[in-house]
Amino acid sequence: MNMLTTRKTFLPFALPSISEDAIEEVAQVLRSGWVTSGPKVKQFEMEFADFVGSPNAIAVNSATAGLHLALEAIGLTENDAVITSSITFTATTEVVCYFHAEPVLTDVDPINNLLTPELLQTTIDTRCVWDGKNLKTKSTGKQVKAVMPVHLAGHTCDMEGIQKIAKKYKLIIIEDAAHAFPAVHKNKMIGTWGDYTVFSFYATKGITTGEGGMITTANAASADRMRKMRLHGINRDAFNRPGWYYEVVDAGYKYNMTDIQAALGVVQLKESHAFWERRTEIAKHYNEEFKNLKGLILPKDDVNGQHSWHLYRVELDTKLAKMGRDSFVEELKDRNIGTSLHFIPIFEHPYYKKTFGFNRAEYPNACKMYDRAVSLPLFAGMTKTDEKDVIDAVKDLLG
Ligand SMILES: *Cc1c(COP(=O)(O)O)cnc(C)c1O
């Protein structure tokens, strides 16, 4: 090991950036005595809706809860299926399973590892039956109701292409935008494309509230439904009446965001552009520094919009690099550089294998990615030294 390139402390692949302003805003909420959902949540929702340009934003306690509420709002049942990407976090598919519905997985494109219109069409052609009115899965006869594109790493999916197919087969689009804040696709922000868009404010995401999420939708009736269902199914109109009276109109969930989280969110939202600029700068530096390294395949810029640069995912061409991905990860760890993998394909996990019997031979690109991908450290709080340490370590290994 080259000791010159070894850091003294471990650099995680992601860390949140919490400013003194954010800490002060949270402290004010704590001092105010109102610590659960209240005025700060309302403010965060309004400012977030404004930021992405959506008429409705519904704050929840995670993106997982948001995806669940969106599927609830479209009335998903056990007789339904949802098409999504095989390269995503389990949150995207687990919410489908909450309804005992079936996740249908697409392969991903070999470059950006996204669900593309072509792959969506192929999945429909090979795994579904269209009778001119209904789209059903061939194997189980379940009705395909929705498609969930995942803007992996913050590179946007081809939304116009996906919309065209969704329209033809009457599919509702629910975007998993956990990585896509702030991201733009063809001059419109992510948050205004699909029928529903779900963002995550988990600790490592583009902005954070510790844990948290946001759903945006142009559908006012659904927005109303999700607002009720995130808080016990309580009818808000009744709830807002003076006195003790309220009405429960369904068996809802406990998915509300707190004012403590929202206070952090309000300040993070203000800082989000600066965070994004810094991440973009680091990604650019990586691209420049790594472009001549043998066997390292670099992430592509988003030619259709603005990449959020949530992640910097590279692939290792193990023959050219003369090193496997796993040893690359180990060597980086020895140099105190953290990495992560986004993601283990859904079909590789024991639960999904056992429950749905996925056949990995149907996902050649996802399998190839799984053998070769790794995410390098990328977050707004990285110092110049952190950045240089990553660059030196990678060059030391592959240069
Ligand atoms: C983080 C993540 C989620 C879940 O977000 P939570 O806010 O933690 O529930 C969903 N999908 C993807 C792709 C993610 O990376």
Domains of the chain: 20-268 (3.40.640.10), 271-398 (3.90.1150.10)
The b-or-e profile of 175-211 (16+ CB within 10 A means b, else e) is: bbbbbbbbbbbeeebbbbbbbbbbbbbbeebbbbbbb
pLDDT computed for residue 62 by the predictor: 98
pLDDT averaged over the chain? 96
Q: How far apart are CA 187 and CA 52, in angstroms?
A: 11
Q: How far is the CA of 91 from the centre of ligand 1 (A)?
A: 6
The CA 178 to ligand 1 mean position distance, Å, reads 5
Rounded distance from Cα 8 to ligand 1 centre (Å) = 31
Bridge partner list, 231: 254
> How many Å separate Cα 379 from the centre of its chain?
16
Q: Which of 40, 142, 145, 205 is catalytic?
A: 205
**Of 13, 62, 64, which is best to mutate to test ligand 1, by the most ligand atoms within 8 angstroms of its C-beta?**
64
Q: Are 346 and 90 in contact (CB under 8 A)?
A: yes
Report the C-alpha gap between 82 and 29 in whole angstroms.
Answer: 40
- Which tens digit of pLDDT belongs to each residue from 197-255? 999 999 999 999 999 999 999 999 999 999 999 999 998 776 677 788 889 999 999 99
Residue 249's pLDDT is what? 95
d(CA 34, CA 113): 43
> Is 205 among the residues known to form the active site?
yes
Which atom in ligand 1 lies closest to the alpha carbon of residue 91?
10
Whether pLDDT at 1 is above 70: no
d(CA 35, CA 48): 20
pLDDT tens digits, 169-206: 999 999 999 999 999 999 999 999 999 999 999 999 99
Alpha carbons 28 and 326: distance in angstroms, whole number: 46
User: What is the distance between the alpha carbons of residues 62 and 360, in angstroms, rounded to a whole number?
Assistant: 30
pLDDT tens-place string over residues 270-294: 999 999 999 999 999 999 999 999 9
Q: What are phi and psi of 210, to 5 degrees?
A: 85, -80
Residue 359 pLDDT class (50, 70, 90 cuts): very high
Q: What is the pLDDT of residue 399?
A: 87
Given pLDDT bands bounded at 50, 70 and 90, which one contains residue 5? Answer: low
State residue 217's pLDDT score: 98
Output the pLDDT for position 239. Answer: 66
Kindly state the average pLDDT of the residues 46-66: 98
Residue among 202, 308, 344 whose CB has most ligand 1 atoms within 8 A, to mutate: 202
The alpha-carbon radius of gyration of the chain (Å, integer) is 22
**Predicted pLDDT at 167:** 98
pLDDT > 80? residue 2: no
Counting residues of the chain whose pLDDT is more than 70, the rounded percentage is 98
The pLDDT tens digits for 102-138 are 999 999 999 999 999 999 999 999 999 999 999 999 9
Q: Compute the CA torsion angle 51, 54, 55, 60 (nearest 10 deg).
A: -80
Q: Kindly report the protein residue whose alpha carbon is nearest to atom 8 of ligand 1.
A: 202
